[in-house]
Structure formats: C-alpha cells, structure tokens
A and B are shown apart, each in its own frame.
Chain A
Amino acid sequence: MNKVYNNRAWWLILPMLLLVAFSAVIPLMTVVNYSVQDVFDANTRFFTGTEWFKEMLNDPALQAAVLRQFAFSLTVLAIEVPLGIGIALIMPKKGWQASAVLILVTMPLLIPWNVVGSIWQIFTRGDIGLMGWSLRELGYGYNITASPVDAWATIILMDVWHWTPLIALLCYSGLRSIPDAYYQAARIDRASKWAVFRYIQLPKLTNVLVIGVLLRFMHSFMIYAEPFVLTGGGPGSSTTFLSQSLTTMAIGQQDLGPSAAFSLIYFLIILLVTWVFYTAIMNMQKDDNNKEA
C-alpha cells in the first residue's frame, strides 16, 4: 500500500482537541488565570505574575502540609500494599466461602468517603464508640481530639480499612489468573512457599500492583472528606492535609489568587510523582529487554 503524505490530515485531530479543551484545558486555564492576578471585584484586578506562587512555596503552613501529605501517602502505601497482597493470598479460592469473603472484603469500598469519616467518628468516641470505649476500658487514654498520635494512627487505620480491599481485590484477580500448572511445577521443583511467592505469584502480580499503587497514591494524596469529618484536621493542624488546606484557603478565606497558585502546585506534584513512578517501572522492564538482546 502506498502511504499518502498530506498535512491536511492534521485537521482530523480537531474534534479531539475540542473535547480536551472543554474537559481539561479551559477549566485549568481559569485556574491559571486566577493564579497570576489579584482579583478584588468584577472590575478591579492587578496582574501579580509569579508572586502568589512564591508566596505559596514559602508558606511554612503549606510546606508542613506537603510533608504531612507525603508522610501519610507513603505510610498508607507501605501498609496497604503488603497487607492487600497478604489478604489476597489467604482468601479462599472456591466454593461459597470465596463468594462470602469476596463480598466482605469489598464492603468498605462501597461506602462513601464522608460516611466512612462519620462511621469512624462514632466508632472512636470514648463514650459510645466501640473502639474508643474499649481502648479506654483497657486503660489507654485514647483521644483523637487531643493527641496527634491518636489522630494520626486512627486516620491511617481508617484509610487502611477503607482501601486495602482495593489492593486485595486487584491481587486476588491477578492470583486467580495463574494456571495450576505453575503451582504443580513448583511442587515438583521442590520450591519453598517463599520461592513460590517470590518467583511465581509476585511476578504475575506486577501489572496489577502498578495500577494499584498508582491509584492508591493519587487517591491518598487527595484525601479530604474522611479526615475532615473525623478530626477536622486537628488537633491543631496535625492532620490537616493538602486538600483541606486548599479548601480552607479557597472557600473559607476566599483567597482565590493564592489558592489557584496552590492548586497548580498541588496538581504538578501529583503529576510529577505519578510520572516518575510510572517511568521508573517501565524503564525497569525496558532494561531487562536490553540486557537480553
């Protein structure tokens, strides 16, 4: 077949450009618009250039929130990924038990974010909450409104409860797709349980884990409703994460300029981390290929 070179073909991407413009570029540009101006009312505004960005990057409260956010995301990933794999490994494989466990595991995923927050808010109350009451009865002075450690531990526990099932389900489906012959061959090769995990199960889970880790990173980095309902960001600002700082600034204080600049920084951080992670994984696989060639 002859390939025809005709630059008018570029027009064919016009519908896609329009779609992306309306779905992403135009809304984003309004944010960009606010981030470089100081707006007083409909008729009064001043161009500020990069001033808001500088101010935001140098704001100690926001810097602390960014660090807090990273600490939170990395902690929940470090707990949820191994735990999710572990749960997937011990979930029953067939029979009614498999269906029952599958439903039980899926349950937390179906609960809306702020409902999760409310559930845990009640759960952790010292007077009527099962967990709060039990811990107090056991002699621990548990109080999430007073102790930052308690607040942190509870939020992490809540996130682990809410989202580990996602990793578990992804891994469960990954494990189900491994043919029996692999396990049989491993038995004949006298592989230990650990070797089976390390050389059969884990490699087959790589793809679902990449998806799982990316989703969980992005999700956890944007967490808002659950800690907002549970602790309101406190005690102090110890559990105030990025989304909440942003909301306070944009809605509470109506600081549109700074919060627009902050939004863009926030967006770029997520984009950057996701990109680095994805590229690193892809490069790992590419290196393999080069070595073999």
Chain B
Amino acid sequence: MAEITLKSLAHTYLPDPRSPEDYAIREMNHVWHQGGAYALLGPSGCGKSTLLNIISGLLEPSSGEVLFDGEVVNALPPESRNIAQVFQFPVIYDTMTVYDNLAFPLRNVKTPEARVHERVMEVAEVLELTAQLKRKAKNLTADEKQKVSMGRGLVREDVSAILFDEPLTVIDPQLKWKLRRKLKEIHQRFEITMVYVTHDQLEASTFADKIAVMYEGQVVQFGTPRELFERPNHTFVGYFIGSPGMNFLDVMVRNGRVMAGDTELAVGQGVHDAVARARTTNIKLGIRPEFIEVHAEPVEGGMEARVDHAQDLGTYSIVYLTLGSMALKARIEEDQVTPTGKAWLRFPDERLGLYVDEYRVEIENE
C-alpha cells in the first residue's frame, strides 16, 4: 500500500539541459493517493512513459524526489520498490507455462510452494486464466498474454501499485473493453493504486477516477473526466479532450467590445471585463462544440456565421462554421435542424472559458 509523491521532480535525457524544452519532465509536484485509479493522458512524446519509468525505478530522475509513503526511493532499484509494471507489448516468459509465468515473481523471492500455488490459483481465477494454466505461454493470444503480464503484477502480495504503460495497444478492439472492465474489477477487489498511461481519452475516462493530462513534460490538469471536459484548465486539455476538441478564438477588447479579429462577439459584461483585465496579447475564448447554440433562423443576440459543411455521424452531426474569419466546429444532436448556408450562433456565457497565456482564468458572471 502506498501513496506516491513526486516532489519537484524533473528529468532530462540530455547531459547539459539549457531551456525548459530540453526536459522530458519539467519540474512538477504530484501526489497519487493510495488505492486510486489514475490515468496519465497525453500525446506521444509528452513524457508520460518517462514519468512512469521514474516511478517504477527503471529511470532515475535528474532532479527532485520520488516518495513512497513519505520515504524517498530515488536510489532504490525497481526490484526493491514493490511496484509492478505492465508494458505496451505483453512480456511473457516463452518457455514457461502460464502457471510458471504467474509463479515466477513469487519463486524469485523464495515463497513456499504451497503459498505460490494458492496465489497463482487466486489470480488465475480473477483473470479467467484457469483453463490455460498448463499451456505454454508462447501459444497464447495477445490479450491472454497481456493478462499473464498483469497477473505477474497481481500475484505479489507486497505490490502497492501497478503501472500500466498503454497496455491495450496490441489488443483487438472488441477485447479492449473486456480487459478494461477486468482492470476496474481488479482495482476494486485488491485496492491497489493503479496508474494507467494512455493517449486514448476514452480509455482514460473509462478506467480512471482521476486523469492527469500531460503536455510537454508537465501535468497541465489533474481532475475527474467531467472536470476535464467542462472546465479544461489549459487550452491543450480543451483541445485534446472531447471529440472534436474545444474551439478557441483569439480575442481582444476594442472600443468596449470583445472582438475576435474583425468580428464582434456577443458575450456578456463579465466576459468583457475579464478579457479587459488580462495583461497580455495571448487571450483566447474557448467553447466546446457541444455548447455552441446553432440556430437555422436569426435569433436575438445571434451571430451570423457561414455553414461550410456538415458531417453526419449518426446520433449527432458536426457542423463546420466560419464566423468572420474564424473557423468553428459545433455539435448538433440528431433532433435539431442542421442549418444550411447560414446559421446564427450564441455562446452561453457560463459555457465560455477564458484562457490567458494558455491557462484558464475565471470569469465572474453576474
């Protein structure tokens, strides 16, 4: 059982880092609580695997500390950290049977054979591998192999956290949801801290209670899937989460109006004041495609936009719009009328996010 704390942690692969861009992990502080199911979400190359390898001890951080239950473990090798890791590609010991594979971590620490048997049977049952126990691991299918890799983590009684590094990459789509559910089940049953690395937002949100979104070596937001969706803390989160991602408009205040390029935006006084307060030129208004009101007829306070085309995705459509010189996407449910030619848009104030230098700033709506 462990709470994992990252204290001013940073890592670089370069011998002589100069700028923040040279760091794979920029200085960060973070806590993974005991028993939580977490996802680490981000695009390829954002540093999520690096972070995972630092936690498991395969990599030593360039600076900062990793603490397990308040104890610094920087210098401890992975084998003495009580951590299991499941890799992107299933790692199995080819020549051994499934049973021996599962027993391997226990036998390595000289566990009595009776206890080994007990644990292996228990874990095999949870993972539904009982029927395969006598088979050579080499001849299993990819998803069974990945279950064996997970099983080797679960079988150890001293494991306090399991780290998953995109474990479902090689699994067929129809089996993915099954394994994901299995993981959830295991999490509830064993109460182990789980950190799940992925670049798939759906995987992250179905698995985790809380998601840490990583971007350029930093955790830009740590929150529930709902928080990430409704109140993205950083423009990257808005863009990365959701399908399609959030719309962002570069805005400024001119003559008491909120302008996006040459187009005046019909927004409330609160938004105006917040934009006016910002002391930078990098100001963006963000709104989710789901929250843009699209009308086929002129409405009060509606901004006229051009409809470029619409994409019908069955239960909803995505409408591509041009407002002034800005491209926007809006999501329309199937019972709504899809406009053609022209549309009138409204941005509900409470759904707007203001981003100053890419980070969210609160708007006080009266």
**Chain A interface (Cβ < 8 Å from any Cβ of B):** 179, 181-182, 184-185, 187-192, 195, 199-200, 203-204, 288-289, 291-292
- Residue of B85, B91, B96, B152 contacting most chain A CB atoms (<10 Å): B91
B221 at the interface (CB under 8 A from A): no
Report the separation of the CA atoms of residues A2 and B77 in the bound assembly, to the nearest whole angstrom: 63
Choose from A195, A200, A204 the contact partner of B108 (Cβ within 8 Å).
A195
B85-97 contact mask (Cβ, 8 Å, vs A): 1 or 0: 1011101011110
B124 at the interface (CB under 8 A from A): no
B134-148 contact mask (Cβ, 8 Å, vs A): 1 or 0: 111001000000000
Q: A22 to chain B: closest CB distance in Å?
A: 43
Instruction: Tell me whether B136 and A288 are in contact (CB under 8 A).
Output: yes
B258 at the interface (CB under 8 A from A): no
Q: A76 to chain B: closest CB distance in Å?
A: 27
Instruction: Tell me whether A292 and B139 are in contact (CB under 8 A).
Output: yes
Instruction: Tell me whether A190 and B87 are in contact (CB under 8 A).
Output: no
B57-79 contact mask (Cβ, 8 Å, vs A): 1 or 0: 01000000000000000000111
B218 at the interface (CB under 8 A from A): no
List A contacts of B153 (CB < 8 A): 188
List A contacts of B105 (CB < 8 A): 189-190
B344 at the interface (CB under 8 A from A): no
Number of B residues whose C-beta is below 8 Å from A? 28
Report the separation of the CA atoms of residues A179 and B88 in the bound assembly, to the nearest whole angstrom: 11
List B contacts of A191 (CB < 8 A): 104, 108
Instruction: Tell me whether B89 and A187 are in contact (CB under 8 A).
Output: no
Choose from A179, A188, A199, A291 the contact partner of B84 (Cβ within 8 Å).
A188
* Chain B 19-69 interface residues, beta-carbon cutoff 8 Å to A: 53, 56, 58
Instruction: Tell me whether A199 and B135 are in contact (CB under 8 A).
Output: no
Report the separation of the CA atoms of residues A185 and B53 in the bound assembly, to the nearest whole angstrom: 11
List A contacts of B95 (CB < 8 A): 199, 203
Instruction: Tell me whether B93 and A188 are in contact (CB under 8 A).
Output: no
Q: A49 to chain B: closest CB distance in Å?
A: 51
Instruction: Tell me whether A190 and B108 are in contact (CB under 8 A).
Output: yes
Q: B275 to chain A: closest CB distance in Å?
A: 49
- Residue of A185, A187, A195 contacting most chain B CB atoms (<10 Å): A185
B109 at the interface (CB under 8 A from A): yes
List B contacts of A204 (CB < 8 A): 94
* Chain B 105-142 interface residues, beta-carbon cutoff 8 Å to A: 105, 108-109, 134-136, 139
Q: A203 to chain B: closest CB distance in Å?
A: 5
Report the separation of the CA atoms of residues A184 and B83 in the bound assembly, to the nearest whole angstrom: 12
Instruction: Tell me whether A200 and B56 are in contact (CB under 8 A).
Output: no
Instruction: Tell me whether A184 and B78 are in contact (CB under 8 A).
Output: yes
Q: A209 to chain B: closest CB distance in Å?
A: 14
List A contacts of B83 (CB < 8 A): 188
Given contacts A181-B89, A188-B153, A292-B134, 18 further A-B contacts (CB under 8 A): A181-B88, A181-B91, A182-B91, A184-B85, A184-B87, A185-B85, A185-B87, A185-B91, A188-B56, A188-B85, A189-B104, A189-B105, A191-B108, A195-B108, A203-B94, A288-B136, A291-B136, A292-B139
Instruction: Tell me whether A292 and B136 are in contact (CB under 8 A).
Output: yes
Q: B167 to chain A: closest CB distance in Å?
A: 11
Q: B60 to chain A: closest CB distance in Å?
A: 13
Q: B66 to chain A: closest CB distance in Å?
A: 15
Instruction: Tell me whether A292 and B79 are in contact (CB under 8 A).
Output: no
Choose from B79, B84, B89, B139 the contact partner of A289 (Cβ within 8 Å).
B139
